[in-house]
């Protein structure tokens, strides 16, 4: 009898030891992950729901899809169009496009109010040849409604191998939806172009985007127009979707006086500042902006506006003032997450609001002239004290 009692006691000790060990292990993980009691309850709720679906859902389940869906749902609940979960296929496409050459149709897009809108069409590209216009709304890509796609899926769905085709369904105000069949091509994006405006002593520099060499190109064009006698400068950032903040800062250091250009602030308040060492503004500047001016364009315009080094002419800019990182996860998938926001020298956040122009000027296409550029020239002449 004592033998069996000892055996039972031994079994009980083993069970209790295992239980204590499990609890200690769980406690160690809880401590390691910095979880409080509420988060532990949430984890139990999450895994309990997952287990219930796995064991009771009538049609069976795929554990991988359940987890992908849960992560995707978490990211979508942020309500941020720039933060997305990328499954294996989408993440692989992103990496391929990042690491190698790709084909496209030559349009930049804005994602706002659950709509995908073309904000600019580059010259000489498949998009221009097909007749796409700024302001067109993309309704579907290859027959799939954009309402079913995340922003990155729309972008990567339009990009692809040079010579292949993509079908877009386009809505244009006042017209029926139209299908366009476009053949992807290698897109060469011109970055900076400068000239002296005919019949004036004003320089004009167009920045199409902030690419790797934009800072160097701007410096060269800026020197050229000054050498040609320009006493004032128009920087045209219309339809410029942004690009590299480092290139934007290089440009800003040529025209923004000494001090902060832009601050990047994360959720904990940690701040990274980019500054200029330029002693003083060299010539009066007017910046042209429109609804397609975004991100790095808004940083440059905001810095010129806040420091008094330039005036902004045009209409309200797009309002993209956030910073994203791409993080690989553990199943060949990834997460693109907004981790910080941009602030102008005066501390303004441009995210969701954009830059308000000092002088409102709408483009009037039917006039046959660039009415916004004409207004910019007028403002510069006032700054120079010249007769209008």
Helices (H) and strands (E) in the chain, counts: 10, 19
pLDDT at 293: 92
Sign of CA dihedral 345, 349, 352, 353: negative
State which residues of the chain have pLDDT below 70.
1-37, 96-102, 189-190, 366, 387-388
Where is 151: in which H helix or E strand?
Answer: helix 151-158
Query: What DSSP line would sit under 230-287, residue for residue?
Result: -SEEEEE-TT---B-HHHHHHHHHHHSPSEEEEEEEETT--EEEEEE--SS--S-EEE
Q: What is the CATH number of domain 88-186?
A: 2.30.42.10
pLDDT at 365: 72
Q: Return the percentage of the chain with pLDDT > 90, whole number.
A: 54
Question: Hey, which residues are catalytic here?
Answer: 295, 306, 320
pLDDT at 354: 95
Closest alpha carbon to 302 in 255, 337, 363: 255
List the beta bridge partners of residue 85: 335
Q: What is the pTM of this model?
A: 0.70
pLDDT at 2: 42
pLDDT at 335: 92
Where is 120: in which H helix or E strand?
Answer: strand 115-121
Q: What is the pLDDT of residues 24-65, one digit of tens each?
A: 555 555 555 566 667 778 888 888 888 898 888 999 888 888
pLDDT at 384: 87
Distances from the Cα of 324 to the Cα of 34, 96, 103, 263, 369, angstroms: 25, 18, 23, 15, 38
Q: What is the pLDDT of residues 295-348, one digit of tens each?
A: 999 999 999 999 999 999 999 999 999 988 889 998 889 999 999 999 999 999
CB count in 10 Å sphere of residue 353: 14
> Residue holding tokens 């006042």?
174
Whole-angstrom Cα distance, residue 205 to residue 214?
A: 12
Distances from the Cα of 379 to the Cα of 284, 308, 354, angstroms: 10, 14, 21
CATH 2.40.40.20 is held by the domain 192-384: no
């Amino acid at each position: 009898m004592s033998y069996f009692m000892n055996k039972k006691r031994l079994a009980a000790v083993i069970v209790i030891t295992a239980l204590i060990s499990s609890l200690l292990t769980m406690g160690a993980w809880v401590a390691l992950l910095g979880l409080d009691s509420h988060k532990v309850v949430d984890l139990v709720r999450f895994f309990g729901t997952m287990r219930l679906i796995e064991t009771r859902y009538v049609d069976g389940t795929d554990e991988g899809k359940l987890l992908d869906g849960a992560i995707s749902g978490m990211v979508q609940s942020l309500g941020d169009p720039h933060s997305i979960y990328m499954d294996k296929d989408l993440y692989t496409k992103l990496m391929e496009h990042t690491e190698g050459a790709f084909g496209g149709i030559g349009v930049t897009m804005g994602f706002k109010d659950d709509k995908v809108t073309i904000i600019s069409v580059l010259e000489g590209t498949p998009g221009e040849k097909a007749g796409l216009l700024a302001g067109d709304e993309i309704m579907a890509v290859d027959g799939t409604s954009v309402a079913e796609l995340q922003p990155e899926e729309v972008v990567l769905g339009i990009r692809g191998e040079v010579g292949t085709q993509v079908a877009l369904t386009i809505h244009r105000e006042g017209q029926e939806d139209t299908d366009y069949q476009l053949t992807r091509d290698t897109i060469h994006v011109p970055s900076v172009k400068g000239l002296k405006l005919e019949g004036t002593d004003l320089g004009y520099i167009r920045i199409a985007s902030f690419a790797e060499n934009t800072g160097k190109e701007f410096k060269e064009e800026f020197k050229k127009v000054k050498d040609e006698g320009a006493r004032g400068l128009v920087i045209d950032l219309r339809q410029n979707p942004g690009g590299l903040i480092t290139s934007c800062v290089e440009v800003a250091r040529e025209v923004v006086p000494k001090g902060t250009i832009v601050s990047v602030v994360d959720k904990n308040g940690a701040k990274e500042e980019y500054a200029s060492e330029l002693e003083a503004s060299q010539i009066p500047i007017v910046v042209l902006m429109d609804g397609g001016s975004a991100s790095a364009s808004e940083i440059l315009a905001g810095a010129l506006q806040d420091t008094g080094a330039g005036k902004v002419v045009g209409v309200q800019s797009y309002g993209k003032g956030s910073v994203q990182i791409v993080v690989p996860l553990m199943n060949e998938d990834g997460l693109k997450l907004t981790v910080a926001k941009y602030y102008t020298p005066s501390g303004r956040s441009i995210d969701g609001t954009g830059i308000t122009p000092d002088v409102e000027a709408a483009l009037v296409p039917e006039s046959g002239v660039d009415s916004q550029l004409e207004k910019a020239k007028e403002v510069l002449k006032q700054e120079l004290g010249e007769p209008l």
